[in-house]
Amino acid sequence: VDFDLILENIKYLNSLVREDISQIEHTPWGARLRRPEHLLLTLYQNGIVVGHGAFRPYQHPATQQYLQDIMDGYFPSELQPFYPDGV
């Protein structure tokens, strides 16, 4: 795992997310503005934890794909169902 490349690309991807822009969240009574949520990625010597999820070892294929997406300069593809409109 190339930690330097991962950290460099995470900084780049974070710069693409505009924290000062609120998103419209529809409610049963209308709508309200919501600030984008942060997603914490914790890197360990032998795996990662995404958000408040379970520990994921580097050997797991989904973990490898998650990190490969970041190393390729993209947001992880597994996040697309949660952010269908992008960041």
CA neighbor of 45 nearest in space, from 31, 59, 33: 59
pLDDT at 18: 66
Do the Cβ atoms of 9 and 70 come closer than 8 Å? yes
What string of pLDDT tens digits covers the 87 residues of the chain?
889 999 999 999 888 876 666 677 888 988 887 776 778 999 999 999 999 999 999 999 999 999 999 999 999 999 888 877 666
Q: What fold characterizes domain 3-82?
A: Nucleotidyltransferase; domain 5 (3.30.420)
- How far is residue 25's CA from residue 43's CA, in Å, rounded to a whole number? 31
pTM, two decimals, is 0.77
